[in-house]
Chains A and B, each alone.
Chain A
Amino acid sequence: MDYYLQQLVIGLSLGMVYALVAIGFTLIFGVLNVVNFAHGEVYTIGAYAGLFVVAAWAPPLAALLLAVLAVGALTGVGLERLAFRPFRRFTDEASLKSRAMREATLMSSLALSIIAREAIELIYGSQFQTVPLKLLLNEPIRLGPVTIVNGDVIIFVTALAMLLALQFVLTRTRVGLSIRAVSNNALGARYVGVDVDRTIAWTFVVGSAMGAVAGILVGLYYGAIFPSMGFNPGVKAFVAMVMGGLSSIPGAVICALIIGVAEALSTIFVASVWQELVAYAFLIVTLIFFPRGIFGGARERV
């Protein structure tokens, strides 16, 4: 029983990490109807940026997270400029979410993700980078019979704070309302005078900042940072986005938590090598039984 509880807590914090990554996918899919294949690398860049900041200044955790947040935001701007904006030369509303645009940016974001991964390998090498011991988020916390580590709590609380902040941005600020407007009706957004290009750039800023923070949190939790670390959480977050209905943020968050918890609990029944398959199983089940996503149905599919 205690073991179940412990795995549940671990699963929730894991799920929150997937949720942070899934939000980037979801927001970007909302405004452009494309999957940003470089999103996993944003997560990796967040982890390496954190490593760099730690080595240079060794700041307290909060400052470190803020620095990574900023790096993620800048990465988002660069990513949009290099891989997405060049294909958006036409002002006609039909081309903003067109199939040609989707295919072009699919390739360009994939290309950029490969370049980013290779660049990291060139600089840091392909081996694991270890996190200084005192920064590791693995201090045990005893809650009655259950033992978890402080990382579980820190990840959960940080991610929750970011989700609440996102909620505030999307409902209370002009940038957030513009993001939702472009997502809901890009043509309508132009008629009310929303600067669509700038709004798309902001979408990448918000999504990438959250993805980058997820990267450093996990890096500090497991104590290992490596060039392909973004792949797995990228897949899980992608599955969460699809399960959640492609452009629903609450849907993606809930599904991310479901995947995280299911993975953690699966280790009770099967060897942990099978854990990775949980998300794929969810994806297949979703695509077969809920082709519009479990919470979806609001929007057409890719």
Chain B
Amino acid sequence: MLEIAGLRVVMGAQEILRGVDLTVGAGEIVAVVGANGVGKTTLMRAISGVYRPSGGQIRFEGADIAGLASHRIVARGLSQAPEGRQIFSSMSVRENLVLGGGPHGLAELDRVLALFPLLGERMSQNAGSLSGGEQQMLCIARALMRRPRLLLLDEPSLGLAPKLIRIIFDLVASIRAAGLSILLVEQNARGALKIADRAAVMEGGRIALAGRAADLAADRRVAETYLGGHVEA
């Protein structure tokens, strides 16, 4: 579904991505974990066409999308709930969802509200006045309005209370159950590795380690660095 090979992104004099290889298969959840500043968001932005890759390939459903304008990539069925949420804070929840739907408008609304019933009660409220958790839900809901086949999630649990984090992770699992593929970037490695099929660890602009999520979760080195101590086998 998504195949990334040798992806490089250069910003000014800085090479931020230095040859990233990563694949997401149909119906898979792939998690990317890593310390702050290793380039996870840069990777996500490059995939969505917000940053222009300096080298390498990004193939989505067989076609090379590296360097395409972001709106063309979205139109192909690849949506993202980006870091920082980037919702339209001075517009209503409904308008955010309409914009998310693009040419489909609100056609997907019932299915999306079934996942996020809370948003249904806030449709005419200003998005900026939603709570942090609600904003995160809106951000994911907005991305789903476009009926993507691949969903990119950049730190969906950031800044949320533990209970809400669990809800978000459950949601991600149920979104996958509906047939979407998901590429998930997370600081919360424990939760991410639990729901992911495969995972990759990023270090210094490269994939340092990749494999089945369960294997990585059991890996001693990963456990010490990203899970905050040992995991019981």
Contact = CB atoms under 8 A, between A and B. Distances in A.
Interface of A: 91-93, 171, 177-178, 180-181, 184-185, 187-196, 298
A193 B99 CA distance: 8
A191 B102 contact: no
A180 B90 CA distance: 9
Contact of B70 (A184, A185, A190): A190
Contact of A188 (B49, B71, B86): B86
A171 B95 CA distance: 8
Interface in B43-63: 48-52
A298 to B, nearest CB: 7
Nearest to A198: B71
A97 to B, nearest CB: 14
B142 interface: yes
Top 10 nearest A-B pairs (CB, nearest first) are A193-B74, A188-B86, A190-B70, A195-B71, A184-B88, A193-B71, A184-B90, A192-B99, A193-B102, A192-B100
B88 A92 contact: no
Given A192-B146, A193-B71, 9 more contacts: A92-B51, A177-B95, A181-B91, A185-B87, A190-B48, A191-B74, A192-B143, A193-B70, A193-B146
Nearest to B87: A188
B137 to A, nearest CB: 15
A93 B46 CA distance: 12
Interface of B: 48-52, 69-71, 73-75, 79-80, 82, 86-91, 95, 98-100, 102, 142-143, 146
B167 to A, nearest CB: 22
Contact of A177 (B49, B69, B71, B99): B99
Nearest to B78: A193
Contacts of A93: 50
Contacts of B146: 192-193
Contact of B89 (A185, A193, A194): A185
B74 A185 contact: no
Given A177-B98, A181-B88, A184-B88, A191 B69 contact: no
Contacts of B88: 180-181, 184-185, 188-189
Contacts of B69: 91, 195
Contacts of B143: 191-192
Given A91-B51, A191-B48, A193-B146, A185 B86 contact: yes
A234 B143 CA distance: 41
Contacts of B73: 193
A138 B102 CA distance: 47
